[in-house]
Chain A
Amino acid sequence: MPATTHRVSGGLLDPRQLVTSFPAALRKLDPRLMVHNPVMFVVEVGAVLTTLSAVKDPGVFPWVITVWLWLTSVFANLSEAVAEGRGKAQAETLRRTRTRTTARRLTGWRPGAGPGDEEEVPAAQLRLGDHVVVEAGQIIPGDGDVVEGLASVDESAITGESAPVIRESGGDRSAVTGGTTVLSDRIIVKITSRPGETFIDRMIALVEGAARQKTPNEIALNILLASLTIIFLVAVVTLQPFAIFAGAEQSIVILVALVVALIPTTIGALLSAIGIAGMDRLVQRNVLAMSGRAVEAAGDVNTLLLDKTGTITLGNRQAAEFLPVDGVGADELADAAQLSSLADETPEGRSVVVLAKQRHALRARGEGELEHATFVPFTAQTRMSGVDIDGRRIRKGAAGAVTAWVTEGGGAAGEEVGRITERISAGGGTPLVVAVQDRQGARVLGVIHLKDVIKEGIRDRFEELRRMGIRTVMITGDNPLTARAIAEEAGVDDFLAEATPEDKMALIKREQAGGKLVAMTGDGTNDAPALAQADVGVAMNTGTSAAKEAGNMVDLDSNPTKLIEIVEIGKQLLITRGALTTFSIANDVAKYFAIIPAMFAAAYPGLDKLNIMRLHSPASAVSSAIIFNALIIVALIPLALRGVRYRPSSAAALLSRNIWVYGLGGLVLPFLGIKLIDLLVQLVPGLH
């Protein structure tokens, strides 16, 4: 299965989607569905009223208004349908994966008891605690933990990432997801989810928007929009007696048009699409949020708990420097270090070879070039690795172990070594001592400075977060000394050294007691309680099922840095809502200047002065306002789906920018838009 076919490209709206979503938009005109959106429900009721009026009293103007009111309703539904449609294709693929899977269930399997009886059942019939066996080429039938064996698994169906991952029993990489494919080997999986509640099921529900519930902010905004709608309804209903007194009784078509123009239809139409699109933007970044509430909470986060490794630093330490002791040349030390590391396939080992090449132009020698070399691998007992070559025995490893080895060989480590290693430790680095035993006896050559490498650009990232008012706390198992050094270099606000799961939990609770919202990432089973406690808990997909259950988001890429993106998406979601609300309300000013003179200039000619756009006729003015009102919804669908531009900055700066763009823009744009539309519609016979 091609991994990326079902991914929607980053937020761009394909015009074809508008067409394909049209039938769905029409189906959503069902009043039983519309009533959930009070603003658009009022529009629909208005459309019904003008339809009746147009049937009874036909004319070009009533029909123009009627058609455009219906279009307004359809456009609103269209935005939602398009937003939902983007998840549909993905859901379809996922669903196919699910339905065609069969499982090889083991009956009576016990750990270490060998293969038991096997039966073939559809995946949907698996129960909690069942054991299934999966072999290379087969699809894993349900979510679970590997209890026996090791396998490489293709998770592209879920993550879109085609590189296979290793899953093995025990430890923090035991979780497998239903729908993924085993590429090699054979594993036994204990099923941990009920049918219908698997990860894929939840994902389907999520991308389809079926599981979407209104988030707290959305509810609050809906309340405000509903009350504005009521105010405008009252304003227009009571206008009729005033108008009658003025000798300018208004037709039902005009009154409905005024109501629709005034109530916040733009935001009302796009509100639900914005929410769906927000979740969708997370999905595009391979993050599954279990609820919209979590996405919103992400925007509110005050404190980010970031794991040092993988988030702040590259996954591994790297050799940064060779520090020879007195009397030893740097090249000599580099040569020894390189030799001892040639067989060392760990990232640290490779980094020593790279450093030797960069700094001392020592070409990496292949193992074949060194005929008499015997490589000594690292063991937990010796805590050293090295090479025996041409009568020389070279060792590198932790200071204590190597020093002991030198003493054993009759040499003395010397005080200088101690000073160097201490200095490196104090700076947050890790010293690796290199020693040699040859004809001259055993002696220390020097020290390799292994250093955590801070990810490029991470400091700026934290600076950004600080501007957004978010505090970063680095979580690390390192000692406080090391932790402090790294924290300072990376620019985090605080750190938690020698962190145990309990410490993490305590930190989260402490922050929350101060009213702060905390976000964190985690993968291990012992992270689960903290993930559950955090307001935003992002579990790594590579992690255990326990962690994935506890968090309210899962990062399919298992990239801890993504927490920052999640926060930004959360903020962007809220900003989009706020900006379009402001835009929607600001629009009303121009609509008044179009409609009020059209209604009353006949009775009070002075009011024609309010027709500052110099619209052609009352009919063309009202039509233009309504057409603008409908078209602006379509015009803003891409923005609603993409979200407004967000650049991390202080709240004050953000607000200023958004007020200028959406407040002032919302004030000015409709004047231009309505005038332009008027220039066109005045050509329609019957509207002048």
Chain B
Amino acid sequence: MNDTLAGWLQILALAGALALTHRPLGDHLAHCLTNSRHLRPERLVYRAGGVNAGTDQTWAVYLRAMLAFSLVSVLFLYAFLRLQNQLPLSLGTRPMPPDQAFDTAASFVTNTNWQSYSGESALGHLVQMAGLAVQNFVSAAVGIAIVATLIRGFTRQRTDRVGNFWVDLTRITLRVLLPLAFVFAMVLVAAGVIQNFHGAHSVTTIAGQHQSITGGPVASQEAIKELGTNGGGFYNANSAHPLENPTGFTNLAEIYLMLVIPFSLPRTFGTMTGDRRQGHALLAVMALIWAASVAVATANELHSVSSPAGHAAGGMLEGKEQRFGIWGSVLFAVSTTLTSCGAVNSAHDSFSPGGGGLLIFNMMLGEIAPGGTGSGLYGILVLAVVAVFVAGLMVGRTPEYLGKKLGSREMKFASLYILTTPALVLAGSGIAMALPGQRAAMANPGPHGFSEVLYAFTSAANNNGSAFAGLSANTVWYNTALGLVMIFGRFLPMVFVLALAGSLARQRPVPVTAGTLPTHRPQFVGLLTGVILIVVGLTFFPALALGPLAEGLH
């Protein structure tokens, strides 16, 4: 079988698996988010946590609970990282320095998993599994919880209640993430991923030299790292590392895992709103962008477009693993940058200008195709609100989406949402580029060096976590700046989404008539795709021109 056929089959197999599973998983998520019955283990959790699971909260109360939980998580994780040498299973590691501990805590709580440390040398097993991996679960659950409130905003009427944070958090973790993670952790182990508590032990190699073979509870962390679109690798090389991702099969399994929840949530949306076609339309937009991105990036990598190094080597294999090949690496790279996962199985820094530039652009889209767990759907819903607003005017009515009018209040929150992340990306990159000391962190010269900085802030603001890893980001300045950007990039949009949800839930729905803009047809799919591409394209065109475009156009 040649590479091309195998590559296509791999993509089709992935698409087929997602198509098969998005319905049951989407409906299961909808059930978890709407069912009124608490399971016994959940009641135990509520009692142990001392929270009231009985009543729904207003958006402001929901927000305060979410922020409290996140703040406590950051502090807890920070303390954990600073004190890890005092704890069991520390493997002789040192406490993480304060700036890096802040960066890491912010990174994992915000579902970003940007890593300025190397897992194999900086962290012990306990902090990986009981510190970082816990956030892999709950930060993913928080994302889904927030989108649940937005969906409820559309489905509920004349109420100020958008759900109960503790219930959403607990149910998503216990009913969805934990069982799936467990099953896939076992699948990964069966395919070769390690799962033990060994420290690094030195062996005399076949050629008689010495090598340290590392251990760790990798599979359990790998499964939730992908499933929760977290992306923080157990090891520095992340999913390129053979112990995290040993075969072509585990590679596809990991890609599937990072895509499965984001691609199932539109179904959840359709089910909860009682109009599955609405979910299909959003799914179509996501799938369209994803497929186009896979196609363009793969073509760029296969043909070494504008890549002297690739031409010199006869193929774009720098930074890519032999067992995955170009197809398996690009499929992973595109999926990870479009899902806010940020796990990497190849060095994005060494991608062709077109391929690497597209990875940056993928993140600039705001992580919506399909985006992170929960955050992808709320991101695309906010963009849909903007698209519906402009299109709604064009059909001569006060714009409405799913029966809810988009007035000035709704537009205020939607506008703030779409404003936040680009502002963070551009301001962060701008400041970094204005400081000579920070520019020096670039590993590559010229436009590619600028792309590294742009990538870093794009990744942090959009909570992706992958990197053009040449950038030496473990400095006090980058740890602090990126940590702050991650926090603002995560929680400001969430505030706006919750406020939007509250505002929508209060409304009485408007009946659908022939004068209502239909939001389930191919027309809307095209419109929304166009709005997303044009708005993002216009915002970032100058920056992209000086990075990937300047590098790629000759």
- Seen from chain A, the residues whose Cβ lies within 8 Å of a Cβ on chain B are 216-217, 219-221, 223-224, 226-227, 230-232, 234-246, 258, 262, 296, 299-300, 302, 466-471, 514-516, 570-575, 577-579, 581-582, 585-586, 588-589, 592, 596, 600, 603-607, 609-610, 646, 650-652, 654-656, 658-659, 662-663
Contact of A578 among B392, B430, B541 (CB under 8 A): B392
Known: A574-B396, A575-B395, A607-B550. A236 touches B514 (CB 8 A): no
Known: A300-B398, A469-B513, A600-B550. A241 touches B433 (CB 8 A): yes
- A658 near B394: Cβ-Cβ < 8 Å: yes
Contact of B534 among A469, A578, A585, A603 (CB under 8 A): A585
- B398 near A235: Cβ-Cβ < 8 Å: no
17 contacts between A and B (CB under 8 A): A220-B406, A223-B412, A224-B411, A227-B415, A238-B430, A242-B543, A244-B433, A258-B542, A575-B394, A578-B393, A585-B534, A585-B538, A589-B537, A610-B553, A650-B515, A655-B394, A655-B517
- B508 near A578: Cβ-Cβ < 8 Å: no
- The minimal Cβ–Cβ distance linking B279 to chain A, given in whole angstroms, is 19
Given contacts A223-B411, A245-B546, A578-B393, 8 further A-B contacts (CB under 8 A): A217-B407, A221-B393, A258-B542, A578-B390, A596-B545, A605-B554, A606-B554, A651-B395
- A468 near B510: Cβ-Cβ < 8 Å: no
Bound-state Cα–Cα, A602 to B508, Å: 57
Bound-state Cα–Cα, A656 to B394, Å: 9
Bound-state Cα–Cα, A236 to B543, Å: 9
Contact of B552 among A515, A572, A592, A606 (CB under 8 A): A606
Measured CB to CB, the nearest residue on chain A to B393 is A578
Bound-state Cα–Cα, A516 to B511, Å: 7
- A588 near B538: Cβ-Cβ < 8 Å: yes
Q: Which of B392, B430, B439 has the most CB of A within 10 A?
A: B430
- Interface-lining segment among B19-27, B190-198, B370-378, B417-425: B417-425
Measured CB to CB, the nearest residue on chain B to A236 is B542
- B538 near A469: Cβ-Cβ < 8 Å: no
In the complex, chain B residues whose CB is within 8 Å of the CB of A603 = 550
In the complex, chain B residues whose CB is within 8 Å of the CB of A515 = 403, 508-511
Q: Which of B396, B513, B550 has the most CB of A within 10 A?
A: B396
- B509 near A234: Cβ-Cβ < 8 Å: no
In the complex, chain A residues whose CB is within 8 Å of the CB of B527 = 655, 659
- B396 near A299: Cβ-Cβ < 8 Å: yes
Chain A interface helix/strand/loop/mixed: helix
- B545 near A607: Cβ-Cβ < 8 Å: yes
Chain B interface helix/strand/loop/mixed: helix
- A581 near B390: Cβ-Cβ < 8 Å: yes
- The minimal Cβ–Cβ distance linking B414 to chain A, given in whole angstroms, is 8
Closest 5 CB pairs of A and B: A578-B393, A469-B515, A571-B396, A469-B513, A238-B430
Q: Which of A224, A232, A659 has the most CB of B within 10 A?
A: A224
- A600 near B534: Cβ-Cβ < 8 Å: no
**CB-CB contacts of B265-277 with A at 8 A, as 1s and 0s?**
0000000000000
Task: Kindly state whether residue B217 has any CB partner on chain A within 8 Å.
Answer: no
Contact of A217 among B393, B530, B541 (CB under 8 A): B393
- A652 near B408: Cβ-Cβ < 8 Å: no
Task: Kindly state whether residue B61 has any CB partner on chain A within 8 Å.
Answer: no
- A654 near B542: Cβ-Cβ < 8 Å: no
In the complex, chain A residues whose CB is within 8 Å of the CB of B521 = 652
Bound-state Cα–Cα, A244 to B435, Å: 11
Q: Which of B397, B418, B549 has the most CB of A within 10 A?
A: B397
- The minimal Cβ–Cβ distance linking B202 to chain A, given in whole angstroms, is 44
Contact of A654 among B396, B407, B423, B554 (CB under 8 A): B396
- A469 near B514: Cβ-Cβ < 8 Å: yes
- B429 near A592: Cβ-Cβ < 8 Å: no
In the complex, chain B residues whose CB is within 8 Å of the CB of A227 = 415-416, 418-419
In the complex, chain B residues whose CB is within 8 Å of the CB of A589 = 534, 537-538
- B540 near A571: Cβ-Cβ < 8 Å: no
Task: Kindly state whether residue B389 has any CB partner on chain A within 8 Å.
Answer: yes
- The minimal Cβ–Cβ distance linking A245 to chain B, given in whole angstroms, is 5
- B543 near A239: Cβ-Cβ < 8 Å: yes
In the complex, chain B residues whose CB is within 8 Å of the CB of A571 = 395-397
- A242 near B542: Cβ-Cβ < 8 Å: yes
- The minimal Cβ–Cβ distance linking B479 to chain A, given in whole angstroms, is 21
- B426 near A235: Cβ-Cβ < 8 Å: yes
Known: A516-B510, A650-B514. A216 touches B426 (CB 8 A): no
- A651 near B411: Cβ-Cβ < 8 Å: no
- B408 near A216: Cβ-Cβ < 8 Å: yes
Contact of A574 among B397, B509, B537 (CB under 8 A): B397
Known: A216-B407, A220-B408, A470-B513. A574 touches B553 (CB 8 A): no
Bound-state Cα–Cα, A433 to B450, Å: 95
Q: Which of B500-519 contact A (CB under 8 A)?
A: 508-511, 513-518
- A235 near B542: Cβ-Cβ < 8 Å: yes
In the complex, chain A residues whose CB is within 8 Å of the CB of B392 = 578
Task: Kindly state whether residue B299 has any CB partner on chain A within 8 Å.
Answer: no
Bound-state Cα–Cα, A152 to B395, Å: 44
Q: Which of B392, B394, B426, B439 has the most CB of A within 10 A?
A: B394
Task: Kindly state whether residue B447 has any CB partner on chain A within 8 Å.
Answer: yes
Bound-state Cα–Cα, A300 to B411, Å: 18
Measured CB to CB, the nearest residue on chain B to A466 is B514
- B415 near A246: Cβ-Cβ < 8 Å: no
Bound-state Cα–Cα, A588 to B539, Å: 10
Task: Kindly state whether residue B312 has any CB partner on chain A within 8 Å.
Answer: no
In the complex, chain A residues whose CB is within 8 Å of the CB of B513 = 302, 469-471
Task: Kindly state whether residue B386 has any CB partner on chain A within 8 Å.
Answer: yes
- A575 near B393: Cβ-Cβ < 8 Å: yes
- A231 near B550: Cβ-Cβ < 8 Å: no
Bound-state Cα–Cα, A589 to B539, Å: 11
- The minimal Cβ–Cβ distance linking A310 to chain B, given in whole angstroms, is 25
In the complex, chain B residues whose CB is within 8 Å of the CB of A223 = 408, 411-412, 415
- A655 near B391: Cβ-Cβ < 8 Å: yes
In the complex, chain A residues whose CB is within 8 Å of the CB of B397 = 299-300, 571, 574, 651
Contact of B514 among A467, A586, A607 (CB under 8 A): A467
- B539 near A220: Cβ-Cβ < 8 Å: no
Measured CB to CB, the nearest residue on chain B to A654 is B395
In the complex, chain B residues whose CB is within 8 Å of the CB of A586 = 534
Measured CB to CB, the nearest residue on chain B to A221 is B393
- B538 near A262: Cβ-Cβ < 8 Å: yes
- The minimal Cβ–Cβ distance linking A57 to chain B, given in whole angstroms, is 23
Task: Kindly state whether residue B475 has any CB partner on chain A within 8 Å.
Answer: no
- A579 near B508: Cβ-Cβ < 8 Å: no
Task: Kindly state whether residue B523 has any CB partner on chain A within 8 Å.
Answer: yes
Q: Which of B419, B450, B514, B535 has the most CB of A within 10 A?
A: B514
Task: Kindly state whether residue B434 has any CB partner on chain A within 8 Å.
Answer: yes
In the complex, chain A residues whose CB is within 8 Å of the CB of B200 = none
- B508 near A592: Cβ-Cβ < 8 Å: no
In the complex, chain B residues whose CB is within 8 Å of the CB of A605 = 554
- A245 near B439: Cβ-Cβ < 8 Å: yes
Task: Kindly state whether residue B427 has any CB partner on chain A within 8 Å.
Answer: yes
Known: A221-B393, A230-B419, A234-B426. A606 touches B518 (CB 8 A): no
Measured CB to CB, the nearest residue on chain A to B518 is A652
In the complex, chain B residues whose CB is within 8 Å of the CB of A302 = 510-511, 513, 515
Bound-state Cα–Cα, A234 to B423, Å: 6
- A238 near B411: Cβ-Cβ < 8 Å: no
In the complex, chain B residues whose CB is within 8 Å of the CB of A572 = 396
Contact of B523 among A238, A575, A588, A656 (CB under 8 A): A656
Bound-state Cα–Cα, A574 to B516, Å: 14
Bound-state Cα–Cα, A516 to B513, Å: 10
- B394 near A246: Cβ-Cβ < 8 Å: no
Bound-state Cα–Cα, A654 to B389, Å: 15
Bound-state Cα–Cα, A652 to B392, Å: 10
In the complex, chain A residues whose CB is within 8 Å of the CB of B540 = 235
- A246 near B447: Cβ-Cβ < 8 Å: yes
Known: A227-B418, A231-B422. A574 touches B398 (CB 8 A): yes
Bound-state Cα–Cα, A262 to B542, Å: 11
**CB-CB contacts of B95-134 with A at 8 A, as 1s and 0s?**
0000000000000000000000000000000000000000
Bound-state Cα–Cα, A237 to B541, Å: 14
